[in-house]
Each structure stands twice: as structure tokens, then as C-alpha cells.
Amino acid sequence: MGGYHHGRLRESLITEGLLLLAESPQGDISLRALARRVGVTPNAAYRHFSDKGSLLVALAAEGFRQLQTAQQRAARDAPPGQMLSLSGRAYLRFAWENPALFRLMFGAHLADRDDAELRAAAAEAYQALRRGVATAKDAQAEAVDVDAATLRAWGLVHGLSHLMLDGQLDFMPLGPLAAAEQVLGL
């Protein structure tokens, strides 16, 4: 480690932290293990994250940004009538492929952390969903309450995600992910 200097250490810690989180069945990681993995001293990591909780908050914020990107990418070129379903499918796939991160993002253990970056990332992900619902609504002839429709869409994919991750859909012949996607009409 010696005189090793890392120009983008915070970003590297977050990137490697996400990988370490994915490798841990319970989503338990330590700053010391992360510092070792990145090749810096623990003190270098503590300059960017005061404790494990602040690292987890940064990982969750990055998770919300990645989720939003995945949903936007899935719906980008879709006809308005399919945008919401494709965005929902991206939500389900994100949860399925990133279970520890997904649980971290929505877990109660970060609820007491008042962090501006996390609040902003979560709010932007929600607003992106709301914009998608509004776009889909504009394609329909009937009037729709955008706020209620957004909450309904989020509740559906979020609930299905937890059912998948908790093994509650394992009995489905298609498999958990395919069964959840089928609910969205995919």
C-alpha cells in the first residue's frame, strides 16, 4: 500500500463496495475489507466515509441511480403504451440481479440516516417513474390521477420484487422472475 495514491478513491470505493455487497449473502461489508480490496489503507477509506453507515448510504444512493438508469434505458424507444411495462420489467430485473443492493436501498436500517445524497437519488428515481406514468397516461384517452397511478405502479413492481426475493414465487412453474414479469403483461 505504501505511497499508493488513488485519484478517484471515493468512486472506486463505491464501485468495489457494490461488488462486495453483491458477494455477501446478507449484504454485510466492512470498510476495512473494502479498503483492502481497493488497495488502500483503512484510514484512506475513512476520509471518504466516516463509518460503515455512510458507506451504505452512498451505495444505496448509487443503487437508486442505477435503477433509474435501467428503467429509463428499458423504456427509451418503446411506444407509450409499453413504456410502463418495460420500465416495470427493468425494476423487477434490477431487484432480481441485485438482491443485496435492492434490500439495502429500501431497508429500514437506513431510514434513520438523514442524507441529502440518498434523499435526492431516491426522489429522482421516483420522479422519473412519475414522468413515465404521466407519459403513459397521455397516451390513454381516459383521465388518470398521475400520483395515484405512480404509487400503484411502484407498489406493484416493488411488491412483486419482494415476493421474488423472499422466495414466495419459487413454486411458480415459470420461475419467480418470469412469473412476476407475466403479471406486467410481458
Same domain, 22 and 86: no
Q: For residue 1, what pLDDT is reported?
A: 41
Q: CATH number, domain at 16?
A: 1.10.10
The percent of residues above 90 in pLDDT, for the chain, comes to 67
Same domain, 57 and 45: no
List, in order, residues 6 or more apart from 16 with CB less than 8 Å away. 34, 37, 38
Last residue in a domain, options 19, 34, 49? 49
Domain that holds residue 102: 53-183
Instruction: Kindly compute the dihedral angle of the four CA atoms of residues 58, 112, 132, 169, in this order, to the nearest 10 degrees.
Output: 90
Give the count of beta carbons closer than 10 Å to the beta carbon of residue 11: 12
Residue 69 in this model has a pLDDT that exceeds 70: yes
Confidence of residue 4 (pLDDT cuts 50, 70, 90): very low
List, in order, residues 6 or more apart from 36 with CB less than 8 Å away. none
Q: For residue 140, what pLDDT is reported?
A: 61
Using an 8 Å Cβ cutoff, are 75 and 83 in contact? yes
